[in-house]
Amino acid sequence: MKELMIGNAALARGLYEAGCSVISSYPGTPSTEITEEFAKYGDVYSEWAPNEKVAAETAFGASLRGKRSACCMKHVGLNVAADPLFTMSYTGVNAGMVICVADDPGMHSSQNEQDSRHYAIAAKVPMLEPADSQEALVFAKTAFDLSEQFDTPVFIKMCTRVAHSQSIVEKGEREEHVKEYVKNPKKYIMAPANAIARHPFVEERTRKLTEYAETSALNRVENGSGEYDFGIITSSTSYQYVKEVFGDSVDILKLGIINPLPVKLIKDFAAKVSKVYVIEELDPIIESHCRNIGVDVIGKEKFSIIGEFSQKTIAQAFGLEAKENVCLDTDVPVRPPMMCAGCPHRGMYYVLAKNKITVLGDIGCYTLGSMPPLNALDMTLCMGASVSGLHGYNKAGAEETEGKTVCVIGDSTFMHSGVTGLINIAYNQSNSTVIILDNSITGMTGHQQNPTTGYNIKGDPAGKVDLESLCRSVGINSVRVVDPYNLEECERVVKEELAKNEPSVIISRRPCVLLKYVKPKKPLKINPDKCKGCKRCMKFGCPAISFRDKHAVIDNTLCIGCGVCAGLCPFDAFESEVE
């Protein structure tokens, strides 16, 4: 049956049909749904790992044991998994292993625009790049076959537009693939003597894979009608934009294997056309390869190294006429994302902003605390960097910074890579105050369980990390828990902990309001007779409160009745309905 599926769901289906039995991942947009969809299949094992390195190593262990395995991550997650990656390239696999990585050109939900294809080249690991959902499914199966045939982990590289676009997919049946585990120290123990012997294998493998890429059906030439005499080399979502603009009027070399790239195939293609354009998002990977093999191409001088493409980008670069449209004269105010009405993070941020505290931030919903009117953050770098960064900041600033600087990190991010930074604070004794914003879920990526929630990916009860005990056991003596809906308590505890001459942790604990078990209360109302229009409540930055006709008003479709705003009003104008 034909079915619409997002690329990530189709990829999950492909992994499943290929006999993948173990998947371990850390969520990250735009990769999250691969694992979520895979977890819906009953007869296979799936899990959320604390971070991408753990996920990749778990998948490796499963492959070693003889089961086909996969791990999934976003582009920046691959940085975390890079350590095992580079050596897995040397060991190779037992049963097939696939690493799914999703890039985010345009940075819809990311802190940088790095191009994962560099990792495939650097680690000498093959990489396949599907251009729609059906290809994602088919490529997943091919990836496992290649993994076993060439003894290597294999990348499948997604991007936002392939990962999150639905297109039509035809499903197949699952096939089981199991291997024996045979002890083989020369292959699996990468101590120098063995690794030295293994490196030539890696180089020879790349040579063989290049040969494979010359004739593989994953790379294909589409001969055009001859309307244009130039040719285009492209892949992934760029292929779709090229087809949207040119249809069948131009010769196209559509690449599905992005590492290693073919040589003869490209030379032969180039020889038949007047000139060659390379159209690829982000870095000039295919373009550089073409130049290296002596094929003259037009690439980044015409197509930007920055951001996403679209059919318009391509059409413009070729000087084709723009489509007619309507433009308004009115300025349309931006609508940036923001913390939800009732979000527990807002209370803590309000207190930090009010007291003009320097706040080193981290990756999650709470990065939105940087937005007006709270403007509460000073830094966001990568997962876990708030904690280690605070340590360095205070080592450099000493008494000048210690009493007025904190870091904030979510529960899932703390598990991912915050705890190592906290160990450094305890070990090397910086007078730092770490605030864990514990909303009992991985929020931004759409509510995944994590080691602090007590539930696994299927929602079944699981092991639960006790944050207070963990912090104490690494050597933090002062560990306090506050409710971020209680602004008075938050302010008092933050001030007390900052005043102490020792490392400390404040756990700001209240579940995300979007969790199903958090029942919203009746929306508040504003008594217009009491409201003096002082706008103090507007400083809270709650999307449910706006200002009309000299009074604050509450949008009752957004307000969840948390009541925190009521405490900010000096005139008691906020009234809650009796339930």
Partner 1 sequence: MATKNIMIVGVGGQGSLLASKLLGRLLVDEGYDVKVSEVHGMSQRGGSVVTYVKFGDKVYSPIIDEGEADFIVSFEKLEAARYIKDLRKDGTVIVNTQQIDPMPVIIGSAEYPESVLDEMTSKGVNVDAIDALSLASQAGSAKACNIVLMGRLAKYFDIPYEKWEAAIEKCVKPNFIEINKKAFSLGYNN
Q: Rule CB under 8 A: which residues touch partner 1? A: 2-4, 29-30, 32-33, 108-109, 132, 160-161, 164-168, 237, 240-241, 243-244, 310-312, 322-340, 365, 368, 371-373, 444-446, 535, 538, 541, 543, 545-547, 555, 557
Smallest distance, Å, CB 245 to partner 1? 8
Nearest in space to 392 (alpha carbons), one of 357, 451, 432, 363: 432
Contact yes or no for 11/140 (Cβ under 8 A): yes
Nearest in space to 557 (alpha carbons), one of 341, 335, 339: 341
Smallest distance, Å, CB 528 to partner 1? 18
CA atoms within 13 A on the CB side of 400: 4
Smaller CB separation from partner 1, 212 or 277? 277
Smaller CB separation from partner 1, 182 or 332? 332
CA atoms within 13 A on the CB side of 404: 11
Smallest distance, Å, CB 577 to partner 1? 17
**Quick count: other Cβ atoms within 10 Å of Cβ 473?**
10
The alpha carbon of 406 is separated from its chain's Cα centroid by a whole number of angstroms, namely 25
Smaller CB separation from partner 1, 187 or 243? 243
Smallest distance, Å, CB 36 to partner 1? 11
Nearest in space to 232 (alpha carbons), one of 214, 246, 244, 218: 246
Smaller CB separation from partner 1, 501 or 557? 557
Smaller CB separation from partner 1, 5 or 209? 5
The alpha carbon of 122 is separated from its chain's Cα centroid by a whole number of angstroms, namely 21
Smaller CB separation from partner 1, 445 or 452? 445
Smaller CB separation from partner 1, 126 or 231? 231
Task: Give the tokens for residue 519.
Answer: 């029942």
Smaller CB separation from partner 1, 202 or 559? 559
Smaller CB separation from partner 1, 444 or 457? 444
Nearest in space to 126 (alpha carbons), one of 103, 159, 93: 93
Q: Is the peptide bond before 260 cis (omega within 30 degrees of 0)?
A: yes
Smallest distance, Å, CB 345 to partner 1? 11
Nearest in space to 444 (alpha carbons), one of 538, 522, 362, 329: 362
Q: How many residues does the chain have?
A: 579
Task: Give the tokens for residue 303.
Answer: 């197509």
Smallest distance, Å, CB 176 to partner 1? 31
Smallest distance, Å, CB 532 to partner 1? 16
Smallest distance, Å, CB 346 to partner 1? 12
Smallest distance, Å, CB 444 to partner 1? 7
What contacts 24, CB < 8 A, 6 or more positions away? Answer: 46, 47, 48, 49, 54, 55, 56, 58, 59, 62, 69, 71
Smallest distance, Å, CB 544 to partner 1? 9
Smaller CB separation from partner 1, 348 or 365? 365
Q: Exposed, middle or buried, 91 (CB in 10 Å: 0-12/13-18/19+)?
A: buried
Helices 264-271 and 192-215: angle between axes, nearest 10 degrees: 30
Categorise residue 105: left if φ over 0, alpha if ψ from -120 to 50, beta otherwise.
beta
